[in-house]
């Protein structure tokens, strides 16, 4: 099954109903959306010479054209490579090269960086700016018929970093994404055609994935003109669009719960806030429930099993009379309908309450990492995805995560892998060694802290120089918020840096300083 059939069907059945919205304005009805999708698919095949299975990247901020491009890629039988638009040019270039993307659909904000990669990335033939004259020409092409796809055919290469510091492309098939959409209906929410999804988080990641069940059911995809989380704008859009759901990182939920415009808004049109991707502190969650009521649902998932491992339902959030209500709020819920979830150690399954690695099996689990057979073999062992996350089940089947064994830092809902930051810092001639860890932060969830050993052992390089080195090589949001200059990094008997000691040091400092 080709996922683009959803747009084609709604285009025939409901051509005049709104499909895509730019703020409070209808960008396209289903008929126009379907026609532009089928036209762009024809243009990608005929004008740009692409064949089924070729990769097409999308590097753009959230906008209606993003969804036109995504479904046009699938309509043509191609593979989408959505790229985080906040990445550094070199990071974008690596993903384009690794995925062997032939075309990039981008926007004015990113056209300069992306176009400079044409001729540098061997596979890259052209960049198409949307909206723009070339994109309009493609979408105006005579519609092409839907290209048939098998369930196991790749649909989306979801690039997620690893501890090596190099992003890996989780190969998500049409079956994976269909299973994810059906699981949403089973475990999170039913969706009706009069509903909408607000894309306040990046379409390249969670919001784009959660958009799929809404497209499947013919709901409206609304892109805020600010491109992000703005309380006044969301309050206004709630007046315009009923049945609103959106995906948000916990830091975004906290920010909205404290926003005056949201607190004063009529929330009758707000249906569901799906949060996940980072820990939600209990106090923040209780504050959010006080503002939003029983409209919160939590998911735990990964790019490798797109947003589908466990869920804490709206009913769980609302069940204040349960004796372990607060304990459940601190869990990530129960396994989803379409997966089996276990907690294991090297000997097998662990009993209730014991901590081990979370492993997952089901039709939503990725086919593997793109062009990474060794990494695939390591992650998918004996038919189970080894998540690298550590947790335990309680007697009722609720999973609580205890740690992230891959040292991932999540700041403002964005994934930051310490190795990437460390490699950037080590490019500075004044740095001998560096170790990067996350520190709890009330605004961002976590803040990036770098422990640095000076090259000569005594004179630390200027912080401004370290900032500039980072900005030359990695995205701005990955840059450390704090630098600590030390004589040496703590290591174990094998010479490996013991980051736990660094985190403990930061925690002790926070406890000594007391609440602010």
The model's pLDDT over 191-207, given as tens digits with 9 standing for 90+, comes to 999 999 999 999 999 99
pLDDT score of 494: 47
pLDDT score of 487: 93
Write the DSSP assignment of 405-463 as a string of letters: TT--EEETTEEE-HHHHHHHHTTSTTEEEEEEEEEEETTTEEEEEEEEEETTSS-PPPH
**Cβ-proximal residues to 477 (8 Å cutoff; 6+ apart), any chain:** 86, 411, 412, 414, 416
Q: Strand order of the sheet with strand 368-369?
A: 126-129, 101-106, 55-59, 79-82, 154-160, 168-173, 368-369
pLDDT score of 161: 57
How do residues 30-61 score in pLDDT, each as one tens digit? 999 999 999 999 999 999 999 999 999 999 99
Specify the CATH superfamily of domain 409-513. Answer: ANL, C-terminal domain (3.30.300.30)
| pLDDT mean values, one per 10 residues, the chain (516 residues) | 97 98 97 98 96 97 97 98 93 96 97 95 97 96 96 96 69 98 97 96 93 98 91 95 94 90 94 88 89 96 94 97 94 97 95 94 98 96 93 95 73 82 90 90 90 89 95 93 94 70 87 65
Peptide bond into 22 cis (omega under 30): no
Burial 335-357 (b: 16+ CB within 10 A, else e): bbebbebbbeeeeeebeeeeebb
CA distance 357 to 463: 38
Give me the long-range contacts of 451-457 (CB less than 8 A, separation at least 24).
451/484, 451/485, 451/486, 451/489, 451/502, 452/425, 452/483, 452/484, 452/485, 452/486, 453/485, 453/486, 453/487, 453/488, 453/489, 454/430, 454/485, 455/429, 455/430, 455/431, 456/430, 457/432, 457/487
Q: Tokens 């959660």 map to which residue?
A: 210
Q: Would you say the C-alpha torsion 70, 89, 476, 98 has a positive or negative sign? A: positive
DSSP, res 477 = G
DSSP, res 143 = P
pLDDT score of 164: 44
Q: Where are the domains of the chain?
A: 1-9+28-149, 409-513
pLDDT score of 404: 62
Rounded to whole angstroms, what are the CA distances from 445 to 261, 280, 324, 499, 512? Answer: 23, 8, 25, 19, 20
pLDDT score of 364: 98
Judge if pTM exceeds 0.75: yes
pLDDT score of 515: 55
Same fold, 1-9+28-149 and 409-513: no
Tell me yes or no: is domain 1-9+28-149 CATH 3.40.50.980.
yes
Tokens of 352: 């209730």
CA distance 382 to 198: 39
CA distance 306 to 311: 13
pLDDT score of 420: 81
CA distance 391 to 171: 25
């Amino acid at each position: 099954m080709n996922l683009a059939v959803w747009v084609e069907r709604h285009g025939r059945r409901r051509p005049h109903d709104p499909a895509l919205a730019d703020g409070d304005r209808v960008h396209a009805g289903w008929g126009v959306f379907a026609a532009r999708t089928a036209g762009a698919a024809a243009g990608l095949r005929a004008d740009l010479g692409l064949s089924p299975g070729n990769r097409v990247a999308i590097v753009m901020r959230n906008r209606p054209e993003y969804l036109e491009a995504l479904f046009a890629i699938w309509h043509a039988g191609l593979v989408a490579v959505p790229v985080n638009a906040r990445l550094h040019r070199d990071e974008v270039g690596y993903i384009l090269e690794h995925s062997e993307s032939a075309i990039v659909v981008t926007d004015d904000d990113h056209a300069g960086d992306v176009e400079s990669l044409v001729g540098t990335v061997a596979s890259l033939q052209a960049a198409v700016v949307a909206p723009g004259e070339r994109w309009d020409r493609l979408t105006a092409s005579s519609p092409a018929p839907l290209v048939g796809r098998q369930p196991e055919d790749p649909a989306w290469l979801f690039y997620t970093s690893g501890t090596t510091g190099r992003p890996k492309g989780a190969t998500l098939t049409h079956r994976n994404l269909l299973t994810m959409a059906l699981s949403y209906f089973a475990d999170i929410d039913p969706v009706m055609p009069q509903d909408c999804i607000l894309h306040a988080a990046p379409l390249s990641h969670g919001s784009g994935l959660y958009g799929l069940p809404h497209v499947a059911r013919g709901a409206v995809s609304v892109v805020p003109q600010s491109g992000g989380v703005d309380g006044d704008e969301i309050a206004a859009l709630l007046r315009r669009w009923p049945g609103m759901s959106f995906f948000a990182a916990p830091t975004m939920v906290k920010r909205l719960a404290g926003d005056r415009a949201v607190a004063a808004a009529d929330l009758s049109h707000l249906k569901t806030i799906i949060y996940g991707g980072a820990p939600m502190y209990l106090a923040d969650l209780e504050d959010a429930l006080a503002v939003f009521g029983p409209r919160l649902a939590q998911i735990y998932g990964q790019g490798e099993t797109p947003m589908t491992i466990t869920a804490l339902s709206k009913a769980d959030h609302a069940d204040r009379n349960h004796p372990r209500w607060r304990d459940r709020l601190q869990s990530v819920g129960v396994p989803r309908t379409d997966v089996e979830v276990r907690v294991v150690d090297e000997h097998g399954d662990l009993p209730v309450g014991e901590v081990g690695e979370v492993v997952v099996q089901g039709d939503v689990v990725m086919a593997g990492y793109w062009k990474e057979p060794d990494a695939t073999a390591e992650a998918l062992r004996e038919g189970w995805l080894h998540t690298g996350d550590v947790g335990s089940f309680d007697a009722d089947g609720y999973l609580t995560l205890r740690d992230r064994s891959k040292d991932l830092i999540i700041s403002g809902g964005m994934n930051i892998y310490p190795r990437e930051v460390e490699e950037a810092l080590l490019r500075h001639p004044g740095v001998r060694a560096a170790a990067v860890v996350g520190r709890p932060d009330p605004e961002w969830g976590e803040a990036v802290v770098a422990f640095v050993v000076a090259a000569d052992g005594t004179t630390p390089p200027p912080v401004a120089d370290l900032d500039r080195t980072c900005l030359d090589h990695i995205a701005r949001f990955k840059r450390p918020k704090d630098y600590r200059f030390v004589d040496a990094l703590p290591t174990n008997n094998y010479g490996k840096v013991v980051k736990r000691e660094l985190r403990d040091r930061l925690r002790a400092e926070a406890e000594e300083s007391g609440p602010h």
